[in-house]
Amino acid sequence: MRPMEFGSQYDIAIVGGGLAGGLAALAFAHERFRVALIDAEAPAAMQKESFDGRTTALAYAAARAFKRLGLWPMIEPDAEPIRDILVTDGRAGSAIARGGASNFRLHFDSRELDNGEPLGFIVENRHLRLAVFDALAHAENITVFAPAKRVSTVYAPSSARVTLEDGRTLDASLVIAADGRFSPLRMEAGIKTSNWSYPQTGIVATIAHERPHDGLAQEFFLPAGPFAILPMTPVREGGRILRHRSNIVWTEAQAAAPAYLALDDAKFLAAIGARIGDHLGALTLEGPRWSYPLAFHLAQSFIAPRLALVGDAAHAIHPIAGQGYNLGVKDIAALAETLADARGLGLDIGALSTLDAYQRWRRFDSSALAFGGDALVKLFSNDFGPLRLARDIGMGAVNAIAPLRRMFMKEAGADFGRLPALMAPMS
């Protein structure tokens, strides 16, 4: 990481230093661009355990980008491979080891894929941040401005100027909006979004359990919304496992969520047990509970003159398919490749003609996944008998047809459509 300078010239200025912005900086630096990364929060604050207690389901194709950027050795000890995914309609019954009330289930087995990779990995966001910030600290052509508040961005025909609150100015050929779902840069550029809120709340908690999860991720489609159990790495001491862990992502009706969040630990765990059954044995809570409102937005354009959107600034989707961050990784990998190709041809990386190639690559793909996920939410977040029968038969059909099942597995692994080089199969 280079020291901070006044009036500096960069190829790319990234606003937003979270998981999307940090990864973008590393991907662009990997292509030998000079990068400025700006965030109002101090890096040390973002690396604290209390900053974000959530986990990320990192699809196997997205994990390849972390490997190619040299981040994986630091992440791997805390990344639990997903070997199987089991989806069922209804809650688990205590007499059923895995599954739920419906006779139709969908089972994805990583051994069916010919790449030898798991379907993905569950990683605590804190460990992703630690790896990203460690890499940023050692990068030669990345300058981090944090804590530093951006106060304005002015776009000119040949460059953009970002002004910080302390008066420093940064000139760049291109500005990247990685500043979240309420992106000020997107709003300032006049880019509209298709957006709506779901009448649902996401509840997140980590549980310790008596029996191993065996790398199995489960999702139960319940009337209030999906309920997922995601396998995490165990807590170890020396070579001994002290306790097994899983992450709970519980979608609940907005009106009912506060009551569940207010329960004491014993009653909260009982509510979890009523939904997942007893196949994991005795449960205990690990750490605090987190909650957040669920909403959808999709930017109507991913670009403007000298501006490109990535991650949540471009799209935010329901967690039903666990693809939110993976979409952002694909944005970043595709944009890095697009810009490197343009530079190789002597083109202006901030020109709309260059950025349009990125938009053509990513917006349709993102839209298809976003609206497809929204349709799944509407299809599965209810208990209407005829609709439930139809969706159960559909799940059973997918499960019974191997080529169709493998296609859905590759989609769950973010291994579909045109893949950027950072996400291509490892040789």
Q: What is the pLDDT of residues 139-162, one digit of tens each?
A: 999 999 999 999 999 999 999 999
Tokens 């139960």 — which residue?
A: 220
Would 391 be classed as within a structural domain? no
> Quick one: pLDDT at residue 94?
34
Single residue among 257, 276, 295 that ends a domain in this structure: 295
Cβ count near 362 (within 10 Å)? 28
Instruction: Give residue-wise pLDDT tens across range 350-367.
Output: 999 999 999 999 999 899
> Quick one: pLDDT at residue 407?
87
Q: Does 149 share its domain with 105? A: no
Tokens 């000119």 — which residue?
A: 156
Q: Does 157 share its domain with 258? A: no
Tokens for 151, please give them. 């106060």
> Quick one: pLDDT at residue 280?
95
Phi, psi of 375 (to 5 degrees): -65, -40
Which domain CATH number covers 218?
3.30.9.10
Give Cβ neighbours of residue 79 (< 8 Å, ≥ 6 apart).
58, 63, 121, 122, 123, 127, 233
Give Cβ neighbours of residue 114 (< 8 Å, ≥ 6 apart).
none
Would 427 be classed as within a structural domain? no
User: Strands, E, within 186-299: which ranges?
Assistant: 193-209, 216-222, 225-237, 240-253, 283-299
Strand partners, 427: none
Output the CA angle 176-178-183, nearest 5 degrees.
105
| Regions of the chain where pLDDT drops below 50 | 2-6, 93-101
Whether the predicted model's global pTM rises above the 0.85 cut: yes
Prior bond to 147 cis, omega within 30?
Answer: yes
> Quick one: pLDDT at residue 210?
96
Nearest partner of 351 among 320, 311, 306, judged by Cα: 306
Structural domain harbouring 235: 74-123+196-295
Grouping H, G, I as helix, E, B as strand and the rest as coil, residue 351 is coil
Q: Does 115 share its domain with 38? A: no
Q: Does 188 share its domain with 336? A: yes
Would 306 be classed as within a structural domain? yes
Residue pair 174/11 in contact (Cβ under 8 Å)? The answer is yes
Q: Tell me the torsion sign for CA atoms 74, 78, 84, 86.
A: negative
> Quick one: pLDDT at residue 25?
99
Single residue among 295, 328, 351 that ends a domain in this structure: 295
Residue 148 DSSP symbol = -
Q: Does 275 share its domain with 305? A: no
> Quick one: pLDDT at residue 380?
74
Buried b (16+ CB within 10 A) or exposed e, 390-399: ebbeebbebb
